[in-house]
Homo-oligomer: A and B are copies of this chain.
Amino acid sequence: MNWENNVRKVVPYVAGEQPKDQNVIKLNTNECPYPPAPGVEAVLHDFDCDILRKYPDPDVSDLVSVLAKRHGLSDSQVFVGVGSDDVLSMSFLTFFNSGKPILFPDITYSFYDVWADLYRIPYECQPLDENFCIRKEDYFKENGGIVIANPNAPTGVMADVAVLEEIIRANPDSVVIIDEAYVDFGGQSCVPLIGKYENLLVVQTFSKSRSMAGMRIGYAMGNEKLIKYLNDVKFSFNSYTMNATAIAAGVASVEDEQYFQETVAKVVSTRERIKKELSRLDFVFTDSKTNFIFAAHKRVPAQEIFDALRANQIYVRHWNKPRIANRMRISIGTDEEMDTVIRFLEEYLKDK
């Protein structure tokens, strides 16, 4: 039995835990603490299940259309997938096909190197500076593609769009992907540059600011040639990636702009308040423009705080990796959840 010799062996991405215990304060995967727009529940409540016997719309036209309208683009400039992970993975497969190394920061979303390994794409990580900022010069060398999360995760740091524009402009032979999973919480989007640079692909998600991680919806925006290539690969993989409920629920979410703005404003307001509390408790952190805070304590190692929080049913994220081992990523929950966290930390840090 030698079939195992021919298997593609990979080291899979490890996502944050999804505990089944409902009593956990879950601040480990940057989920939104508020429910999706009320229209989402209405859509499912009234869903005509007879249509499920048919294949869904392979072009996801209804959802593409509302997204295009919201971002001031045409339908041919939008691609929808099963969460931004699906969209990004498919973009790696489609655009990073030169054999030359692709470039991304050393500290960033840890799925980038996993996708590169999966598709045998060579890559070179570019070190962020001591403030976790991108050094644009690192992206002016020959490459097979570039991917930058902005704001970055898990650092929360936002790069200036002008800096990103320089990188995009300097790389006409590469596709530059800007992963804007967290942009709605105060970041600046690169979407306005789409008309100017045909090598720019911007990716966003419903998982954070739209409270729909459980529905798996992400999307890419770019010039229509890019979107066409992406669709060709998608249609070579699975004609129907988006199920009928996800399409209908996604449309309902986009149609309620007011709820979206209010939800984002609540998260941002909690974040800014918690920054002050954490400062008071001797934490240091970057100026997050996301729905999480990337914090280190001045005296107590992150691993110890992480363990103490966990023992008290508060889950945050911690990586035992170079440069960030002394940091924790704390997602922004409800005000009540965050108050519980702060009370716990206050007590826990009292004698340290």
Contact = CB atoms under 8 A, between A and B. Distances in A.
A179 interface: no
A1 B239 CA distance: 30
Contact of A243 (B54, B225, B245): B245
Interface of A: 1-15, 18, 26, 29, 31-36, 40-41, 44-45, 47, 49-58, 82-83, 85-86, 89, 93-98, 100, 114-115, 117-118, 144-145, 171-175, 198-199, 207, 211-216, 225, 229, 231-246, 249
A213 B55 contact: yes
A169 to B, nearest CB: 11
Contacts of A233: 8, 10, 12, 118
Interface residue SS majority, chain A: loop
A53 B8 contact: no
Contacts of A239: 13, 15, 85
Contacts of A15: 55, 58, 235, 239-240
B245 A13 contact: no
Q: Which of A3, A10, A54, A97 has the most CB of B within 10 A?
A: A3
A22 to B, nearest CB: 10
Nearest to A206: B52
B215 A245 contact: yes
A45 B43 CA distance: 9
Contacts of A241: 82, 86, 216
